[in-house]
Amino acid sequence: MNPIDRQKQASAAAAALEIEDGMTVGLGTGSTAAHFVTALAQRAAAEKLRLRCVSTSRVTADQAVGLGLTVLPLDDVETIDITVDGADEIGPGLSLIKGGGAALLREKLVWESSRRCIVIADAAKVVATLGAFPLPVEVVAFGHTATARRIDAAIRALGLSAEPRLRIRDGVPVQTDSGQLIYDLACGALPDPVAVATALKRITGVMDHGLFLGLASEALVGGVNGVSRLGR
């Protein structure tokens, strides 16, 4: 395991200790979230914890079920006690960029149903200003090129340059679990993420964007000297 992956694993293990018997737990998506699912399943088995989980993606649901966790649809739970998920960037006030794993819409739906959201990450994810990581935007497939032009115009109106780029993998556009497409916006530094979030949400073809603002309760960040807890 490389040092970054060790940091991810340490942050995930620390988050697993936050889970208590009887809780409903939101499971994120990505390599750090996968470490959390593993750590959670190990704890649940060892301590006979009765847990219900809600997953943010099919990949995570498959992993969780494979490890013996109970996964329910979001519609079947009234509230989620804690969601634990990774991030692509952690900025000031725990503002986040997410969606590197194309799960941002389901992630946000699960986060918004959660009483507490813990971000887990390696130390390199913590930044002074969001935006070095291209901002993922989930776009309805119908008319997506027209929507991308509207995104570009909206971002330019904010004095930024977007260059929306359709995410392609293995020669085909990446499709989200909900059948949408992802555009990545290489805007560079985002000094006003709220303005960007507001502008993107006004565009009809945009399902959602990877800016998670005011949603994270805390972050557990793995570093060379162990795991640090960051608050808002």
Interface residues toward ligand 5RP, by CB under 6 A: 28-33, 85-88, 98-104, 107
Residue (88 or 208) nearer to ligand 5RP, CB: 88
Q: How far is the CB of 55 from ligand 5RP (least distance, A)?
A: 12
Rounded-to-5 percentages of helix, strand, coil across the chain? 35, 30, 35
The kind and range of the H/E element at 45 are helix 31-47
| CA angle centred on 135, ends 134 and 139, rounded to 5° | 125
Which amino acid is present at 221? V
Total residues found in the chain within this entry: 232
The count of other CB atoms within 10 Å of the CB of residue 47 is 10
Residue (24 or 29) nearer to ligand 5RP, CB: 29
Cα–Cα distance, 199 to 191 (Å, whole number)? 14
CA 101 to chain centroid, in Å, comes to 8
Q: How far is the CB of 58 from ligand 5RP (least distance, A)?
A: 12
Q: How far is the CB of 136 from ligand 5RP (least distance, A)?
A: 7
Q: How far is the CB of 51 from ligand 5RP (least distance, A)?
A: 20
Annotated catalytic residue: which of 78, 89, 107, 138?
A: 107
The kind and range of the H/E element at 226 are strand 226-231
Residue (84 or 150) nearer to ligand 5RP, CB: 84
User: In terms of DSSP bridges, do strands 172-173 and 114-122 run parallel, antiparallel, or are they unpaired?
Assistant: unpaired
Residue (107 or 184) nearer to ligand 5RP, CB: 107
**Under 8 Å between Cβ of 209 and 137:** yes
Catalytic residue flag (residue 112): no
Cross-strand partners of 226 = 223
Residue 172 DSSP one-character state: E
Q: How far is the CB of 96 from ligand 5RP (least distance, A)?
A: 8
Residue (99 or 150) nearer to ligand 5RP, CB: 99
Residues carrying an active site annotation:
107
